[in-house]
């Protein structure tokens, strides 16, 4: 069969009519090109707006980048310093704990006083308080330990050591003292020298610490 | 190989009629041809950087036209679900009034026969008989073997003639019945 043989008469006429009907009208080319040009211009404007926006963002970023780097650097340095500070603080408390464990009570107490001078934060004070009470108890000064606890409780009402008040060294202190008696100076017990320094978060007075 | 970036304006001038006819081959309804042709050249402008000059511009445009026509057909199906599309077939403005009616009927019949044909066969059939392209040109355009073009064309013609005949017989009977 000849592949390109012409269509039958009827089909050929139908195709001719179809072709005539489908031919673009006279103004079609001009009309469609006008629409294309309008759309392309609109697209171009859109692209330009996007380019401008990108440029603006880039300009802002150019300004912000050094600032953000500086802020990041400052924060990193701050974090490093804080970590160092925390490490030192923990090391000092560990030292005090070791001294108390090996029987060097006064040395441990002195370390705690030093700690209270250097580290004023509430978290540090909370951790320190347990060791201070331990040190005073080991130096056989339960009343003083209780006094420290009560004062600490006044400043930090939500402290975890609130339950220790009245029995700082594990045993009750006996009948609680009245308000008047609390204001009276503490009488040293026989054979135990009073501590020459005031221990606390706010002030440390006294300079003579016996060895 | 260095090549010049495609100038859409000159491509439009050279290939407008071809793209217009292609839309028929690809089954785009008459009322949507304007928009479809516009879309083809807008896409061509957007992708002009991709044109490497190896294939003829016409073949490259045809590739774009295929995608655009597919989208239009899809859109038309959606519209059909939402509501009936207006009858967009229009006779040639120069035809006399009595011929116009006959033309309109013929165009409608041809459209229906083409719409019922397989897409690949319709493509080859319209490019041959409506666009007047030769088989080797179609083979190059579609990137298929020459024998495939002949085979599709043979089937398409057989089907077109048979369907058109059947439709005319059926419609002739229907008209006679109505007249009686």
DSSP A55-92: HHHHHHHHHHHHHHHHHHHHHHHHHHHHHHHHHHHHHH
Give residues with Cβ within 8 angstroms of B63, minimum separation 6: none
pLDDT value for B81: 62
Mean pLDDT in consecutive groups of 10 residues from the start of chain A, 211 residues = 69 86 82 90 92 94 91 95 91 92 91 89 81 87 87 83 81 57 48 44 39 40
Q: Report which of residues B39 and B96 the model is more confident about.
A: B39
Which residues of B sit within 8 Å Cβ distance of A?
8-9, 12, 16-17, 20-21, 24, 30, 33-34, 37-38, 41-42, 45-46, 89-93, 95, 102-104, 106-107, 109-111, 128-130, 134-135, 150, 153-154, 157, 160-161, 164-165, 168
Smallest CA–CA distance, residue A45 to chain B, in Å, is 14
CA–CA gap between residue A99 and residue A94 (Å, rounded): 9
Is the CB of B24 less than 8 angstroms away from the CB of A22? yes
Is the CB of A29 less than 8 angstroms away from the CB of B16? yes
Q: What is the pLDDT confidence band of residue B80, given thresholds at 50, 70 and 90?
A: low
Which of B33, B93, B164 is facing A14, going by the closest CB pair? Answer: B164
CA–CA gap between residue A1 and residue B134 (Å, rounded): 17
Q: Which of A4, A22, A23, A39 to mutate to test the interface with B (most CBs of B within 10 A)?
A: A22
Q: Which ipTM did the prediction report?
A: 0.71
pLDDT value for A80: 95
Q: What tens digit of pLDDT does each residue of B32-43 get?
A: 888 999 999 999
Q: Which of residues 34-63 of A touch B (CB under 8 A)?
A: 35-36, 39-40, 43
Which residue on chain B is closest to A1 by alpha carbon?
Answer: B154
Q: What is the pLDDT confidence band of residue B98, given thresholds at 50, 70 and 90?
A: low
Q: Is the pLDDT of residue B23 over 60?
A: yes
CA–CA gap between residue B92 and residue B52 (Å, rounded): 39
Q: How many contacts, defined by CB atoms under 8 Å, are there between A and B?
A: 94
pLDDT value for A194: 41
pLDDT value for B148: 93
Q: What is the pLDDT confidence band of residue B97, given thresholds at 50, 70 and 90?
A: low
Q: What tens digit of pLDDT does each residue of B104-159 get?
A: 788 888 888 888 888 889 889 988 888 888 898 888 888 899 999 999 999 999 99
Residue B19, number of CB atoms within 10 A of its CB: 25
pLDDT value for B41: 92
User: How many residues can be counted in chain A?
Assistant: 211
Q: Which of A4, A5, A18, A26 to mutate to test the interface with B (most CBs of B within 10 A)?
A: A18
pLDDT value for A139: 87
Smallest CA–CA distance, residue B101 to chain A, in Å, is 11
CA–CA gap between residue A40 and residue A24 (Å, rounded): 22
pLDDT value for B59: 85
- The whole-model pTM stands at 0.52
Q: Report which of residues B174 and A153 the model is more confident about.
A: A153
Is the CB of A40 less than 8 angstroms away from the CB of B42? yes
CB B60 within 8 Å of CB B19 = no
Q: What is the pLDDT confidence band of residue B170, given thresholds at 50, 70 and 90?
A: confident
pLDDT value for B174: 55
CA–CA gap between residue A172 and residue A211 (Å, rounded): 30
| Chain mean pLDDT for chain B | 80
For chain A, report the end-to-end CA distance as a whole number of angstroms.
124
């Amino acid at each position: 069969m000849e592949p390109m043989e012409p269509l039958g008469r009827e089909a050929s006429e139908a195709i001719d009519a179809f072709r005539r009907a489908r031919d673009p009208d006279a103004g079609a080319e001009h009309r469609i090109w006008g629409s294309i040009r309008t759309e392309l211009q609109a697209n171009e404007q859109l692209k330009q707006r996007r380019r401008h926006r990108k440029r603006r963002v880039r300009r802002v970023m150019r300004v912000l980048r050094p600032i953000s780097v500086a802020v990041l650097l400052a924060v990193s340095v701050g974090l490093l310093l804080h970590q160092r500070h925390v490490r030192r603080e923990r090391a000092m408390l560990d030292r005090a704990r070791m001294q108390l464990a090996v029987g060097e009570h006064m040395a441990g107490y002195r370390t705690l006083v030093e700690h209270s001078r250097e580290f004023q934060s509430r978290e540090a004070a909370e951790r320190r308080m347990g060791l201070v009470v331990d040190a005073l108890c080991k130096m056989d000064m339960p009343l003083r330990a209780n006094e420290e606890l009560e004062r600490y409780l006044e400043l930090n009402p939500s402290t975890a050591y609130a339950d220790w008040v009245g029995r700082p060294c594990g045993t009750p202190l006996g009948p609680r003292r009245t308000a008047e008696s609390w204001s009276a100076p503490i009488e040293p017990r026989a054979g135990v020298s009073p501590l020459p320094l005031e221990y606390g978060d706010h002030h440390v007075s006294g300079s003579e610490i016996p060895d | 190989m260095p090549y010049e970036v495609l100038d859409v304006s000159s491509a439009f001038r050279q290939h407008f009629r071809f793209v217009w006819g292609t839309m028929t081959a690809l089954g785009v309804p008459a009322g949507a041809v304007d928009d479809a042709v516009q879309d083809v050249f807008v896409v061509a402008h957007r992708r002009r950087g991709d044109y490497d000059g190896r294939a003829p511009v016409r073949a490259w445009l045809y590739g774009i036209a295929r995608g655009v026509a597919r989208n239009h057909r899809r859109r038309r199906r959606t519209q059909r679900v939402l509501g009936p599309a207006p009858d967009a077939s229009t006779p040639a403005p120069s035809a006399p009034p009595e011929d116009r009616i006959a033309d309109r009927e013929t165009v409608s019949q041809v459209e229906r026969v083409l719409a019922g044909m397989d897409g690949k066969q319709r493509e080859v059939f319209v490019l041959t008989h409506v666009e007047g392209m030769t088989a080797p040109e179609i083979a190059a355009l579609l990137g298929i073997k020459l024998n495939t073009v002949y085979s599709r064309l043979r089937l398409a013609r057989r089907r077109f003639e048979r369907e058109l005949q059947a439709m005319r017989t059926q419609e002739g009977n229907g008209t006679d019945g109505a007249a009686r």
